[in-house]
Structure 1
Amino acid sequence: MLVLGLTAHVAAGELRNPDGFNTPQDHVIKRSQVEDFAQVGPNATFVCTSTSKSCTEKDGPFDKNGQLKAEGKVESVAYGRADSKDVSGLQLQRTYERVIKQMGGRLVAVMLGQSEKTGQMRQVHLIERKDQKKWVFVDTRSQYTLLNLSVITETALPDILTAGEFKSQLETQGYVALNVNFDTNKSVVLDSDKPTLDQVVSLLALSPDLRLSVDGHTDNEGNAAANKQLSQQRAEAIVAYLVNAGVAKDRLVAKGFGSETPVADNRTEEGRAKNRRVELVKPKPSVHSASDKPTDSVLLSLLAR
């Protein structure tokens, strides 16, 4: 299975099921990954159950050759039996068919040439809700001890805000969320996020009096102290990038809050994803403004008393 993605953010050592799914009986999670925007493209031709013919672009996220090209947020996980024995592909596929059906989904395509006898099977299911589509790709092969599950939630390609849009949001709400991510347990700025940060450089060049706090946040998964330290390191990495790009260091401050200030429910993956964020915050004006300072005439009158 090929998963092409922009960025991933799963804490080090963290093994997580996609939302709504549990680890199959007698199995353990071998690896897992969450991609904010990626493409699942297994090297296989799929036959649509509605037509019994090779899938096309009209049938969903397939190309003209019937290969799956689903894009969006990808939650992928690989399972293996705890005793390392081979999996029963047919049994697992049947289990997933039942579970996905209970979730309101349906089978839409199967791999051309799949064999129920050997358990070498690949299936694509669709869970469709009012304003959301989830494509579920299940890959089982009896001759291996691993099976793969990918849940692709259709989302729009993340937009890069311009310097003007950053400025507008800072003026209206006092902060703006940066669409940046980091590799697992890392604090290195990714090449894919540099265009966004370059817009921040432009913003600060256009607003020479503007000072910003770069605030890092995490979800509540893992150790709280480690999360806070990591969020601080990531905020500092962004500040370092901006400084290296020519922004005066005294115009920026890095702050790491860890999981202390969530903006969504940490009990769901969607909520945790929203809580993993970096924000630019415009400092609030001082309580005592320049107009509050006594004038020379007032000072003279006070001294004369």
Structure 2
Amino acid sequence: MKLSARIAPLLVLAVLLAGCQKPPTAEDAVEADAATPSAEPAPVAPDAAADASAPDDATADADADAPAAAFDIGKILVSDAPLGEFPYFSLPAGYEPMNKPVQMDYARFPFWTGEGFEWVEGRSYETRIRKARDKTWSEFELRKNIETLLTSVGAVEVASSKIPREWIKQLDSDTKQGHIDGLGDVYNRPATVYVLRRADRNIWVHFVTNSASGNWIIMETAPFEPTAKLIDASAMKQSLDATGKVALQVNFATDSTQVEASSKPQVDQVVQLLQDDPSLQLSIDGHTDNTGDGQHNQVLSEGRAQSVVAELVARGTDAARLQARGYGDSRPVADNGTEAGRAENRRVELVKR
């Protein structure tokens, strides 16, 4: 059958138009999908999903540089629960100090808050913990007892986690050595810290345990009260002429060899003494109380004597006129059983050579 003359040209035109259409593109497919409802959402490429949820570089850097929130003790409620005498808390039945507890009249220790260290100064008590004879060690039992005891008087747990290595590295050797009995294995075990807030002071507890023993530090905040008294050059000369020595109450940072700024005027008077008598030669002798390990006290006393010598030399004194000696806690001049006696025993003596 032949097509009519009218229809044939129309078919030819339709074929030509069809040949001129461009093929569908990916964009056309997306538009079609968007316009057509679907029972399932279109899949998202993994890279695209990650990019959508991850912050941009500037935001990430800002978050990394943002300082950790400072610990705010003001958010802890004040407790007026009755307490006995310092150190206030004792170990549960079946547990005892591994050795003689160490008690310091004034010390400094970094308590972990989960975000950083809160450096606390005041009176401290610390010891290692062991099981008593015929008692089975239970880390859980000890922890449960300590938690129950502290929370019963209003103490709040502020942290119970491992201290990151980068924070532990910030601890100086004096801190680690000075609190060796109470510090515990903070390198591998979590540190649990409690705070008991009082109207006039705060009581901090640092507690660490492992599968066989434990450690704790109890510290009560208190303002520093200097005990060093200035002895002028003339008074020092009189004592040296009469007895051959004179004791100075030079202040040092807690468990440190660093001479406190408050003692610089006393060091200046020693310089004046040496300038007034150019022939005078002195031994600078360091002494400690009997708190803590004896070997540590020996090293500490030597370091303190050397620090005083360094201060004198820095002020122009000939080093040949001086020597440094340390005696640790071996030469007390007062009763180490009292705070006043321990303060007297922590001294630097000038001894005529």
Q: So what's the TM-score if we normalise by structure 1?
A: 0.48
- Give the greater-gyration-radius structure (CA): 2
Q: So what's the TM-score if we normalise by structure 2?
A: 0.42
The structure with the largest strand share of the pair is: 1
